[in-house]
Structure 1
Amino acid sequence: MKGQNMQVVQHLQELRRAIIITLGFFLLFLLLSFIYVQDIYRLLVKDLPFKLALLGPSDILMVYIMIASVVALAATMPVAGHQVWQYVRPGLTPKERKVTIAYVPALFILFIVGISFGYFILFPLVLNFLMSLSNDMFTTFFTTEKYFRFLLHMTLPFGILFELPVVIMFLTSLGIINPYVLQKIRKYAYFVLIITSILITPPDFLSDILVIIPLLLLYEGSITLSKFVYNRQQKNNDESIV
């Protein structure tokens, strides 16, 4: 009993260490992002066909915080993935350690892909659609804070949601989940993804559809990747028995 308590305490200490290291790197990247945040801001607004307005002196600070936070989050992804891997590594075989470490760079890559999808594809489509609704009946007036908050809502969730395939593959490789469970809960997963898409997008039908379709495809792709990992594990286990 005492030994079990010691193991629990040790696991909690390791978890706290991983959280502290990840948070420390996030704060470091946040500070570095603030140093270059004005350059990033100019890059994001250089092609805008309209001028952004400020309603108060605090607006631009909020915008800088949003921009720097997203950059810091992206930069911290590999660190967070490595800390998760370090935390579960003692329970893995040497072969599993080599396989799962490959998921660390994949987390960063998919986060960037998700952000890029939202920024280059989804955001322009939704923004142009919403602006077309005015039909020259209104004067376009965008505040800096509202514009970047809208941009954040259309990009950051995809950076996180695009991690789904890697997370599913990682959990499958650890034996926590398998593709048959994912298929069994498909209708519930679809429901959750649809609700999520409605919550993270502006209240219009086009935005919902443009978000729902990629999310459902991501889930189906995750099932396929989970099958690949699961079948490979089963094959390796059969060979080891023989």
Structure 2
Amino acid sequence: MTQQKEEMTLTEHLSELRKRLIYVLSIFILGLVAGFLVADPVYQYLTKAETAQGFVLHAFSFWDGIGIYMKIAGLFSLVITLPFTVFQLWKFVSPGLRPRERKATLQYVPYVFLLFLIGLAFSYYVVFPMALSFTSSITEKMGLVETYGMKQYFSFLFGIVLPVSLLFELPLIIMFLTGLRILNPIRLRKMRKVAYFVLIFIAVVVTPPDFISDFLVMIPLLLLYEISVFLSGFVYRKQLAADAEAESRYIRAEDKQSVV
């Protein structure tokens, strides 16, 4: 009987997970449709921006233009879908949370969109111009004529902007996982060396191979991790206080029953 109940519970969980994934996929598809509507103005802005001035972009295949529009639509859909995905994740795990934890973790969802936009602005207006300037200077020193395809230009752009933007979600993700009691500041401090190594590696990979560019990206990433540890500690202390209060109420209730 118990085994059958566990199997039904597992089936219900899988059914709930499938429902949440369908919701996320539906929003992503709707975001793609909306993304195609804004793809042209976004493309015009990106190609007329200061970083793109001086470049004449070429189409080397019939599908280059459509491919760029699809990438822009995909990025737009990702921005729209990301907070909704986090909300669906919260809906999936919330039945196993205490009421206090359920309320505490829900408040992180709106900030997913805000942090992604901040990361998007930082990567586009700071990191990408540095990378483009460095590669162009090397090309100029080699005496080469800069002739770029639009596909290569936007692949280079999105290859830098998207990873850095997602990394700006780190503090929120760690707070969310701390709220779910998966992480805590003690564990984060123990894995600080490994985390630093990973973040430095990411900074070196997504930036031009010069120390200044690496340093300008590396410092914000390391600060993001330390902010994440601090915020995790804040959430963790509130959890301990709530647990202590609940235990105190339980002890008082037990004492009253023993007196009766």
Output the TM-score relative to the length of structure 1: 0.92
Amino acid at match of 1:112: L
After the TM superposition, which of the residue ranges 130-139 and 222-231 deviates more from structure 2? Answer: 130-139
After the TM superposition, which of the residue ranges 8-17 and 121-130 deviates more from structure 2? Answer: 121-130
Helix, strand or coil at the partner of 1:57: coil
Partner of 2:20: 18
Aligned-residue CA RMSD (Å): 1.8
Relative to structure 1, the CA distance from residue 205 to residue 193 in structure 2 (aligned partners, 3 Å threshold; closer, same or farther) is same
Cα pair 2:128 2:161 within 8 Å, conserved: yes
1:200, CA displacement in angstroms? 4.0
Structure 2 segments unaligned to the other structure (5+ residues): 249-260
Q: Pick from 174, 185, 190 the counterpart of residue 184 of structure 1.
A: 190
Q: Deviations over 1:68-107 (max 9, x none)?
A: 1101000111210110110011011222222111111111
What is the aligned length?
242
Structure 1 segments unaligned to the other structure (5+ residues): none
Q: Pick from 48, 53, 73 the counterpart of residue 49 of structure 1.
A: 53
1:164, CA displacement in angstroms? 1.1
Cα pair 2:127 2:207 within 8 Å, conserved: no
Cα pair 2:185 2:236 within 8 Å, conserved: yes
1:135, CA displacement in angstroms? 4.1
Amino acid at match of 2:75: V
Cα pair 1:22 1:83 within 8 Å, conserved: yes
Matches within 5 A, 1:10-159: 10-47=12-49, 48-50=52-54, 51-133=56-138, 134-135=140-141, 137-159=143-165
Matches within 5 A, 1:151-170: 151-170=157-176
Partner of 1:215: 221
Output the TM-score relative to the length of structure 2: 0.86
Structure with the greater alpha carbon radius of gyration: 2
- Percent identity of equivalent pairs: 43
Amino acid at match of 1:39: P
After the TM superposition, which of the residue ranges 129-138 and 78-87 deviates more from structure 2? Answer: 129-138
Amino acid at match of 1:18: R
Q: Quote the Cα distance in structure 1 between the aligned partners of 2:92 and 2:207.
A: 34
After the TM superposition, which of the residue ranges 214-223 and 112-121 deviates more from structure 2? Answer: 214-223
Amino acid at match of 1:160: L
